[in-house]
Every structure is written in C-alpha cells, then in structure tokens.
Structure 1
Amino acid sequence: MDKFDQKILNELQRNARQSVSAIAESVSLSRSAVSERIKRMEDNGDILGYQVICKPQTTTSVKAYFEVRHGGYHCESIAEHALLINGIKVCHGISGDLDLVFYAETESLSMLHDIRSKLDNIPNIGTITTHIVMNEWKKT
C-alpha cells in the first residue's frame, strides 16, 4: 500500500459515498486509477466493507415499572413526591401485596438508576423492586 492508497482510504473513511471522481481530484490521480486501486484494496481485504452510521435515537429507549411497598397509609404523599421525578410517568395505587406501582420512561439505564435513587430518598418508602421492560406488545 503506497501513499496514494492511504490517501484514497482516508477519503473513503471521511465519506465513503463520495464519487470516484471526487476522490480522484482530491488525491491527484485519474478516475480509472482510483477505481482500480479501490477494487484492488477490496480484493486484498484492505477494505472490508462500507457502513452507515446513524444518528443516535432521541426517543425513549428504557421503560420500567417500580413496585413500591411502604407498610402504611402514605400512598398519596409518596405518589406526589414520585411524580416530581423526571421520568416517572404514572403512579398507580393498587390492591394486594403491593402498595404502589410507578411507570417510568427514560433514555438510558443510568438515567433509570438515577430515578431509582431518587425514589429511595422519598420518606416512608419501604422496599422498591425494579422491573425493566424487555418487550412490548400493543393492541392496534
């Protein structure tokens, strides 16, 4: 691999969709010479492939439910505190062994961990169990 091959590789890494003509102009070689060199580098395994790099998703990607037990009659005050936490979308007071269930949506596991830490600091909460949503099916 010579300096021209390296320049071609640099150009392809910068923008693999640019035309062979644009690369040729940039590296001061003819279009046919650049085409031949690219083909040779592909055949030799110097170029393994081309890829698309997508913009990171900005939509919510982590959803979770928090089971909350408190052992008293503090549901409303705990729910009010929880709803102040960014990411908590819904608080449900429920019957049975649990006292409350919170639904949260956030962009990352670290942000979910922050929500959990803030829930731990709410007065009168006993235990919290976290359930991360792995799959979701919706009725259409």
Structure 2
Amino acid sequence: MSVDRADLDRFDLSILRVLQTEGRISAVELARRIGLSKSPTQARMKRLEEAGVITGYRAILDPIRMGQAHVAFVEVRLSDTREAALTAFNRAVLLVPEVEQCHMMASSFDYLLKVRTSDIQAYRRVLGEVISALPNVASTSTYVAMEAVKEVF
C-alpha cells in the first residue's frame, strides 16, 4: 500500500509532525493534540506505518554526550562511476560506523558524507585508513563543521 503526499490529510500531517519530535507520546495524548479520539488516531498511525510513511521509532542519542562532537563533511570523487563501481562504494560505505550520512550527488563530486568522530585526530585516521580505502575513491575534500545550527533527526 502506497500513500502519496496528496493522500495525507491534516490529521495525518499533524500525527507525523508530533511523532517526528515526540515518538514516545501516548496514543491518548497524540489523539488529544490532533483533535481526534484514540481509536481513529491509532488506525491512522497503523495505516501510515503499513504504507511506509512511518518507517520506525528510535532513540535519538546526543552525539556530544557520546563523545562524538567532531563533524566533518567529505566530498568524495570516484575514479570510476559505472554502476558496478557505485554499487561497490555504496556497499562498503554502509559498513563504516563513523559515516552518519552518505548522499550520491549530482555535482562536480560523486558523494557527500557526514562523518562524526571524537576529534580531529580520530577523523584523520578514519579519512586516511577507511574512507580513502573505500572502493574507487580517487580523492576527497573535507569541510569541518564548527557548529550545528539545525539538525533534524
């Protein structure tokens, strides 16, 4: 079952807005906030889950308290961009725990990675020993983040 944005009414959008910031809210409190009773609210949540609009619930950890305050964005250029090379890079980058996000780009470079480590020395090790050794990596450029102004999880 698929749901298009046009199929989402104001109640669905309200549910999604609340759940994005408060995933552990009770169904009763969620229903109260969006102006429906509990049963229709739960039915809508179930429909949104089954349609894949809601893909799961998780704990959001504070990376700074976890000792992972250093954030760098890395442009990656590949030496080969044929499908097999892209697939090899995609599979390998999934196994790197320090890579928080990986996006294939339509740009002068091929991928943009968000890498989180404890400090610049740890980042240097990850870049030199792990990222640069990923399949088909030709070059990288790093941009160190000084402050996160807005992050949506």
Question: What's the TM-score bracket when you normalise by the shorter of the two chains?
Answer: 0.5 to 0.7
SS in 2 for 1:60: coil
TM-score calculated relative to the size of structure 2 = 0.49
For the 8 Å contact 1:83–1:90, the answer to whether it is kept is no
Which is greater in Rg?
A: 1
Cα 1:81–1:136 shift into 2, 3 Å: same
Structure 2's unaligned 5+ residue stretches are 1-63
Q: Give, in angstroms, the shift of residue 139 of structure 1.
A: 7.0
Amino acid at match of 2:89: I
- 2:78 is equivalent to residue 66 of structure 1: no
Gap runs ≥5 in structure 1: 1-55
How well do the aligned residues superpose, as a CA RMSD in angstroms?
2.2
Deviating runs (4+, > 6 A) in structure 1?
none
Distance 1:127 1:139, change over 3 A: closer
TM-score of the superposed pair, with normalisation by structure 1: 0.54
Number of the residue aligned with 2:116: 105
- What is the CA distance between 1:80 and its match in structure 2? 1.9
Aligned length: 85
Cα distance in 2 for residues equivalent to 1:100 and 1:58 = 26
- Of 90, 94, 100, which aligns to 1:83? 94
What percent identity do the matched residue pairs reach? 18
Distance 1:97 1:112 in 2: 23
The CA distance in 1 between the partners of 2:77 and 2:87, in whole Å, is 13
